[in-house]
Chains A and B, each alone.
Chain A
């Protein structure tokens, strides 16, 4: 039983080794001469204005929400895809109703301009 988990342990160990090794080697070999200018945020060579923390538009949130909703939709369709033949016509109709209801949401969001960026 424990043997089935062994490869995962190996993966974890290798991952930790690689990441830890890279960071350590960098720290040991690389030169470090910090200065105020170097510590500044990089804004394409311009002097930075404002703070790195800024309030995001609610638009990002709406887009993310729509993404989550349709992500969940796909998750629900995944089992259907696996058992497509077994579930037959009835399953197809069910899935179409499911997709149809969510398509209403997409059409609505589109009409309300949630997908426009301006």
Chain B
């Protein structure tokens, strides 16, 4: 019998090196961690961070690479993949860093905790790299299963159990939609790889109704993952109950990965169908911003408030996707996600700082008078809240600025007006945290920060990033735009998106 000709699948080591590092690293952490006591899991955390940073360095080297497709069109390599790899690895490393003291203090099982964190990061990287709906689906499942377990990691806390169960049930439900959508698209186009799907769009024989139904189901599946209204119901409970570093990772990593796949599928490859899906996204974006911000106004728990804020921010990013016709929209989304990652990771780190085993201080009332007792923590929180509210010159401001200008480029005047009104509404609840910290009195005494160097490091990195990305946006927006263009370079018919 003849041997199979392996050169046909264009095997390439380079694009999968970061993936291999994270996968092998996760297994190493798992096997090493079994020997370690749960109370001394700090070393495992450091090992995890080192591995993630190593993978990030490899991704950085791949950042400037020529866009290419490897493994028979399963993986796309190039700037877009590397950009999201960096973002996801950064989010995972920061999550590990803020967990170093937290996990040991809470007695979480270190081996599983850090291994699942890395598995989730691996899934996210696959979602960013996937040029094939099956790879994207497998990445999404790897990420989701790891995060479901992480959300329920505080097994003695009923809220954590509730979070894991709700996230799991609704997540599994949404996965069903996604898979059904993939099946429809396969039925309509005869392929599950994104490039043949894009090529099939221009064939008259392609069944449009079946394809659109598939695209619609895909929209629902991604809508769940990014917590867009009306698929957001799980988010507040899951965010509130999950261990706070995991919440941060959900808010930043899961969102970035979901948008990585969402943007690649819709803006890059389904561009020719733009007129159809942007209409749906217009409504979804408007609803998501408005419902998220209005619900955030009345929250008394900071994690719930940040959950609704995360929903609202997903809405702003959806505005960017609705503006797909504008050439600047892709870069704006990527830049937004970067700034959002630094800011949100920082905000959740402050929430972690106030928590100790058996004393969860995650109510807004607990933040009263924080400035007097802990000026550093309060100043950091103030910075992150201002960035989330979109106050110049912080990262959040330029993110919104670029997204809104892209929306105006695409003649989405009304959606931009809704978005601006929403930004104004959101300022109210972000500023109320500042007022609680600086004007009010009472609240709780946070445990000393001095004994928690990793937490301080997380805060400093997040704060520095929030300021730097805002003060000097140019290099970041250039890289983000370049990354998006490189995704178009992976696509055969990119001129369709650019010229529309």
Contacts and interface: CB of A to CB of B under 8 A. Distances in A.
B6 A104 contact: no
B375 to A, nearest CB: 44
B3 A108 contact: no
B30 to A, nearest CB: 5
A86 B3 contact: yes
A91 B4 contact: yes
Contacts of A29: none
Nearest to B6: A90
Nearest to A109: B34
Interface in A60-106: 85-88, 90-91, 101, 104
Contacts of A107: 31
Contacts of A104: 27, 30-31
Nearest to A86: B1
Nearest to A100: B27
A87 B34 CA distance: 36
Given A101-B27, A104-B27, A111 B34 contact: yes
B2 interface: yes
A112 interface: yes
Nearest to B28: A104
Contact of B2 (A86, A91, A101, A108): A86
Nearest to B26: A104
B27 A87 contact: no
B366 to A, nearest CB: 35
B27 to A, nearest CB: 5
Q: Is the interface of A mostly helix, strand, loop or mixed?
A: helix
Contacts of A88: 3-4
Given A85-B1, A86-B1, A101-B27, A108 B6 contact: no
Interface in B29-52: 30-31, 34-35
B333 to A, nearest CB: 34
B27 A90 contact: no
B134 to A, nearest CB: 14
Contacts of A108: 30-31, 34, 111
A104 B115 CA distance: 12
A90 B7 CA distance: 11
Contacts of B4: 86-88, 90-91
Nearest to B11: A90
A107 B35 CA distance: 12
B141 to A, nearest CB: 13
Nearest to A84: B1
Contacts of B30: 104, 108
Nearest to A104: B27
Contacts of B2: 86
Contacts of B23: 101
A81 to B, nearest CB: 14
A13 to B, nearest CB: 35
A111 to B, nearest CB: 4
B481 to A, nearest CB: 37
A41 B2 CA distance: 63
Interface string B1-15: 111101000000000
A107 B111 CA distance: 13
A23 B31 CA distance: 55
A112 B27 CA distance: 14
Interface of A: 85-88, 90-91, 101, 104, 107-108, 111-112
9 contacts: A86-B1, A86-B3, A91-B4, A101-B27, A107-B31, A108-B30, A108-B31, A108-B34, A108-B111
The 3 closest A-B pairs by CB, nearest first: A111-B34, A104-B27, A88-B3
Given A90-B4, A101-B23, A108-B34, 17 more contacts: A85-B1, A86-B1, A86-B2, A86-B3, A86-B4, A87-B4, A88-B3, A88-B4, A90-B6, A91-B4, A101-B27, A104-B27, A104-B30, A104-B31, A108-B30, A111-B34, A112-B34
